[in-house]
């Protein structure tokens, strides 16, 4: 079976660090002909702006050609074609497939039926490992280290797949975790167990303000409206946190705010002009990190 990236656990710590190093090299030299005989497929069964476009930019910058779809309405999925058959077909056309799908576990299933590497670009509430690597790259760039940091995760820690992958990756480093969420959106127990088993420290809190002064990375997330079964439950928590510029004092000089984006109202626009705002640069880092992921999985770097 070809090497795929489905969960952050598919990578050893050394492989993660190798990909971050490659990303830094691609940032220095973003034009490459490494993939000029390759075709990359992006097949998105759920909406996306950053992940799809940054993977396509990454593939183009590496010299590959890109095929795919961004919604299923124009595909044979509407005629009832199964995920298995779709993946088998696309793996005959492309050298690597990037997939986003609403079902937890769908990307793993795709990797089991594909003859080419699969990259999970988000499967339901489960994992988003390429986001994790670009988050780590952003942390490393802004903090010069992945060790010794306080990582404060805020918002929808229940449904937010980016925080689940990031927690598992940063658990390999010396990280203090703070989880800020209302009980309805708390970090699921399986992830807290994961930290317990590794003797890692975490705290849970409803309140954000008391944690800002000690935080190095403030990881804000959107409340994921699309994952709620009951719209009334979403209404209760949709505005639970709204970070404004005035809330950032006092803070450490190295504090950076990350957000996988899109944001709704959890970060006010007055934060965008503060030196702590890093979320748009974080999204740009996605191109270099995804160039590194593609090159690594295809065995070219
Ligand atoms: N961060 C992220 O996954 O963004 P998109 O949903 O726009 O791809």
Ligand 1 close to Cβ of residue 286 (< 6 A): no
**Cα–ligand 1 centroid distance for 262 (angstroms):** 6
Q: Do 234 and 115 lie in a common domain?
A: no
Q: Do 121 and 202 lie in a common domain?
A: no
Ligand 1 close to Cβ of residue 51 (< 6 A): yes
Q: Do 146 and 277 lie in a common domain?
A: yes
Q: How high is the pLDDT of residue 62? A: 97
| Domain's final residue, options 84, 111, 127 | 127
Average pLDDT over residues 187-193: 96
Which residue of 42, 45, 47, 48 sits with most ligand 1 atoms within 8 Å of its CB, as the best mutation to test the pocket?
Answer: 48
**C-alpha to C-alpha distance for 299 and 285, rounded to whole angstroms:** 21
Q: How high is the pLDDT of residue 30? A: 87
Asked if residue 237 has pLDDT above 90, the reply is no
> Is residue 267 one of the residues assigned to a domain?
yes
Q: Do 43 and 140 lie in a common domain?
A: no
Q: Do 138 and 116 lie in a common domain?
A: no
Q: Do 138 and 113 lie in a common domain?
A: no
Q: Do 173 and 194 lie in a common domain?
A: yes
Q: Do 269 and 177 lie in a common domain?
A: yes
Q: How many distinct structural domains can be found in the chain?
A: 2
> Is residue 300 one of the residues assigned to a domain?
no
User: Which secondary structure element, helix H or strand E, spans residue 281, and what is its range?
Assistant: helix 279-297
Q: Do 72 and 149 lie in a common domain?
A: no
Nearest CA to ligand 1 atom 3: 51
> Is residue 297 one of the residues assigned to a domain?
no
What residues act catalytically?
50-51, 79, 100, 128
Q: How high is the pLDDT of residue 204? A: 97
> Is residue 138 one of the residues assigned to a domain?
yes
Q: Do 238 and 115 lie in a common domain?
A: no
Q: What is the residue range of 239's domain?
A: 130-283
Please state the atom number of ligand 1 nearest to the C-alpha of residue 54. 8
Question: Look-up: residue for tokens 């719209």?
Answer: 231
- 180-278-162 Cα angle (round to 5): 50
Q: How high is the pLDDT of residue 236? A: 80
Nearest CA to ligand 1 atom 6: 48
Which residue of 165, 227, 262, 264 sits with most ligand 1 atoms within 8 Å of its CB, as the best mutation to test the pocket?
Answer: 262
Q: How high is the pLDDT of residue 176? A: 96
Please state the atom number of ligand 1 nearest to the C-alpha of residue 52. 8
- Report yes or no: 254 and 214 within 8 Å, Cβ to Cβ: no
pLDDT tens profile 62-92: 999 999 999 999 899 999 999 999 999 999 9
In this structure, what CATH number is given to the domain that contains residue 41? 3.40.50.1370
Please state the atom number of ligand 1 nearest to the C-alpha of residue 47. 6
**C-alpha to C-alpha distance for 274 and 212, rounded to whole angstroms:** 15
Q: How high is the pLDDT of residue 216? A: 98
- Report yes or no: 135 and 258 within 8 Å, Cβ to Cβ: yes
pLDDT tens profile 132-169: 999 999 999 999 999 999 999 999 999 888 999 999 99
Instruction: Identify which has the larger pLDDT, 230 or 29.
Output: 29
Asked if residue 48 has pLDDT above 80, the reply is yes
Ligand 1 close to Cβ of residue 261 (< 6 A): yes
> Is residue 184 one of the residues assigned to a domain?
yes
Ligand 1 close to Cβ of residue 221 (< 6 A): no
Per-residue pLDDT band at 1 (split at 50, 70, 90) = confident
**Cα–ligand 1 centroid distance for 51 (angstroms):** 5
Asked if residue 6 has pLDDT above 90, the reply is yes
> Is residue 187 one of the residues assigned to a domain?
yes
**C-alpha to C-alpha distance for 136 and 170, rounded to whole angstroms:** 8
**Cα–ligand 1 centroid distance for 174 (angstroms):** 27
Question: pTM for the whole thing?
Answer: 0.94
**C-alpha to C-alpha distance for 43 and 46, rounded to whole angstroms:** 9
Nearest CA to ligand 1 atom 1: 260
Q: How high is the pLDDT of residue 34? A: 94
What percentage of the chain carries pLDDT values higher than 70? 100
| Domain's final residue, options 127, 144, 168 | 127
Ligand 1 close to Cβ of residue 131 (< 6 A): yes
| Domain's final residue, options 73, 97, 127 | 127
Q: Do 93 and 139 lie in a common domain?
A: no
Q: How many helices (H) and strands (E) does the chain have?
A: 9, 9
Average pLDDT over residues 80-106: 97
Q: Do 194 and 176 lie in a common domain?
A: yes
Q: How high is the pLDDT of residue 268? A: 97
- Report yes or no: 200 and 175 within 8 Å, Cβ to Cβ: yes
Q: How high is the pLDDT of residue 31? A: 83
Average pLDDT over residues 8-37: 95
> Is residue 258 one of the residues assigned to a domain?
yes
Ligand 1 close to Cβ of residue 129 (< 6 A): no
Q: How high is the pLDDT of residue 142? A: 98
> Is residue 51 one of the residues assigned to a domain?
yes
Asked if residue 247 has pLDDT above 80, the reply is yes
Average pLDDT over residues 119-141: 96
Q: How high is the pLDDT of residue 123? A: 94
């Amino acid at each position: 079976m070809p090497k795929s990236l489905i969960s952050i656990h598919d990578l050893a710590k050394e492989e993660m660090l190798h990909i971050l190093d490659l990303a830094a090299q691609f940032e220095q030299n973003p034009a490459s002909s490494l993939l000029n005989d390759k075709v990359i497929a992006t097949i998105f069964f759920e909406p996306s702006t950053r992940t799809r476009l940054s993977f396509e930019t990454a593939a183009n910058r590496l010299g590959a050609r890109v095929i795919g779809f961004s919604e299923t309405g124009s595909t044979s999925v509407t005629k009832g074609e199964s995920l298995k058959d779709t993946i088998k077909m696309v793996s005959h056309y492309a050298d690597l497939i990037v997939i986003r799908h609403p079902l937890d576990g769908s990307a793993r299933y795709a990797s089991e039926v594909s003859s080419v590497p699969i990259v999970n670009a988000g499967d339901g509430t489960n994992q988003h490992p390429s986001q994790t690597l670009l988050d780590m790259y952003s942390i490393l760039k802004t903090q010069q280290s992945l060790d010794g940091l306080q990582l404060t995760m805020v918002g929808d820690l229940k449904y937010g797949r980016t925080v689940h992958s990031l927690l598992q990756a940063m658990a390999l480093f010396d990280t203090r975790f703070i989880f800020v969420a209302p009980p309805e959106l708390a970090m699921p127990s399986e992830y807290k167990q994961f930290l317990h088993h590794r003797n890692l420290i975490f705290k849970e809190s409803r309140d954000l303000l008391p944690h800002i002064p000690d935080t190095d990375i403030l990881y804000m997330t959107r409340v994921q409206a699309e994952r709620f079964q009951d719209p009334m439950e979403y209404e209760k928590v949709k505005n639970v946190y709204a970070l404004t510029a005035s809330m950032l004092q006092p803070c450490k000089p190295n504090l950076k705010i990350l957000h996988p984006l899109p944001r709704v109202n959890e970060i006010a626009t007055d934060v965008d002009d503060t030196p702590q705002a890093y979320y748009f640069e974080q999204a740009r880092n996605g191109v270099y990190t995804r160039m590194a992921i593609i090159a690594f999985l295809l065995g070219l770097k």
